[in-house]
Structure 1
């Protein structure tokens, strides 16, 4: 019971970290640094941190076997490089509220990926949830933006965020077996190393050419937040939670993100909540709720069943 409480507390803290980032990132990009430059700093900082900690905490622990090594490469490509490149590219082009709403599609992706990779059953209710959730996401992507002058390329940004949510959902499913088999720092050191090899070539120029001498203090603090909290701490807590909970439970904790993101964005004047967005959110939440329902005849270690248990 105590461990379950710790898992839920860790996941809620992660949701709060992600929610604040939707607004804080807007201060940094594109005025002070491009999205790929931010990704480069995040990944290099985290890769160095996890490599050093792994050396001291779990020096003998190694990922072995062709299957596990290929899985770790896939996790690094999807969960680190592609995930972050898509997220910051999309957030740079769209509003914080739209981005946070589209992130809630990830639990639907988890269920679909679990059905394909883990043979999880898709019931009629879950199929309906997938359809409803995707309709809500489609309305967010194609809907008229009340801040079109501020975000003229919002549609492209929304598509990037939807793709980001998709690869993050796949990452949760793929990384769970590794986290249960190896030390968390072993897995994180490997996946961030792989992510660095893929992402840094896209962003090293932005990172090197930024005018650091003229960064205000609050920009330095926000970049530090994105490296320490958004990358190192959030990934560490998420992957620690995967040892004790299912990928679906981590997906469920995406629910609070848009609520927290809306409160933060509106409070500091970064975005506005409209009735259209509220209706789109309701559709997505309904779809995710239907998808998260436990199948009646769940025989094995079903992903959704574990989520319900916790």
Structure 2
């Protein structure tokens, strides 16, 4: 493994650990302290400002013909991705959200097959089916489960996963032409413009006087960690490795979320999370991870 690939894998590891922690940290202040739309407004605005501060030191112009694709990346990878995820997370279990997100590699493969003409092998097809069944079981289970699960929240997270997977495939060609900071800065600017009409309404009804120190720390973690650093890590990794490699790291998120939820439930005595861990969710998680493994597995080379 080359040094640049080594750094890319470390970046992917860091990003997905942050995302796994985010599932429960962000949910802890929604919707009691801040609504999901207002939270996304602060998240995109804060990270966009940071990206453009860095961009000021990178003198690089974007060709006019590439702006439509950048606008689409802003819609899918920033606005739709974050709006659906935070609205979904506010309604459902952190564990459910983290498991559904692991369907991203499956969706990346499907979009790559249609858009990049990537061949789907038998292993990859079985992985798609297995991972899809696992996600469907979990979403359907949200109708009747105890704990903090909900079918609507799970559906929102699934839409988020679709948007992010399509973004990962569409943004890859831009990586060959531009600095990652240039791409992510423009994507966040366009994402902010798409999100503004919805997010500003949430900001106007938010009671900031009710914020505690914990609320401010959570917002800071989401803006600096989950958004700025995690997107920076992901965009750097995508410039070095294929979308399917980047997507395969997402299966780390359920493990991180399971650990975080267990700590909240059994160490910090947060009773609302105690029933979020059960055999059906573990089974669903294993099915999705098995699907990701089959998709990521390289075919054996024939000896001859």
**TM-score under structure 1 length normalisation:** 0.90
Q: Does 1:111 align with 2:109?
A: yes
Deviations 1:227-247 (A, max 9, x none): 011111111111011111111
| Distance (Å, rounded) in 2 between the aligned partners of 1:166 and 1:7 | 23
Paired residues of 2:180 and 2:235 also in contact (CA < 8 A)? yes
- Say if 2:195 is the partner of 1:191: no
State the distance in 1 between where 2:247 and 2:69 align: 20
Moved over 6 A (4+): none
Cα distance change, pair 52–289 in 1 and its aligned pair in 2 (3 A): same
Whether 1:277 aligns to 2:281 is: yes
Q: Which residue of 2 aligns with 1:294?
A: 298
**What are the equivalent positions in structure 2 for 1:100-179 lying under 5 Å apart?**
100-143=98-141, 148=146, 150-151=148-149, 154-179=150-175
Kindly state the Cα deviation for residue 293 of structure 1 after the two structures are TM-superposed.
2.6
Q: Are 2:218 and 1:222 aligned?
A: yes
Count residues in correspondence: 292
2:249 maps to what in 1? 253
**3-state SS of paired residue (1:181):** coil
Tell me the residue number matched to 2:58.
Answer: 58
Q: C-alpha distance in 2, partners of 1:191/1:278?
A: 35
What is the alpha-carbon distance in structure 2 between the residues aligned to residue 95 and residue 137 of structure 1?
14
Residue number in structure 2 paired with 1:39: 40
The change in CA–CA distance for 1:216 and 1:147 in structure 2 (over 3 A counts) is farther
Aligned to 1:307: none
1:145 is displaced (CA, Å) by: 6.2
Q: Is the 8 A contact 1:86 1:161 kept in 2?
A: yes
Q: CA, structure 1 residues 144+90, in 2 after alignment: closer, same or farther (shift >3 Å)? A: closer
Q: Distance in 1 between matches of 2:232 and 2:181?
A: 8
1:300 maps to none
**How far off its partner does 1:210 sit?**
1.6
2:24 aligned partner: 23
Shift of 1:149: 6.3
Aligned-CA RMSD value = 1.6
Match of 1:99 in 2: 97
Aligned partners of 1:121, 1:178: CA distance in 2, in Å?
22
Conservation of the 8 A alpha-carbon contact between 2:142 and 2:151: no
Gaps in structure 1 of 5+ consecutive residues: 298-310
- For structure 2, the residue ranges without an aligned partner over 5 or more in a row are 266-272
Q: Deviations over 1:101-152 (max 9, x none)?
A: 000000001111111111100112211211111111000000156753644x
**Residues 150 and 288 (structure 1), Cα distance of their counterparts in 2 relative to 1, 3 Å cut:** closer
Cα 1:179/1:131, change in 2 over 3 Å: same
Whole-angstrom CA distance in 1 between matches of 2:299 and 2:170: 22
User: What's the secondary structure of 1:33's corresponding residue?
Assistant: coil
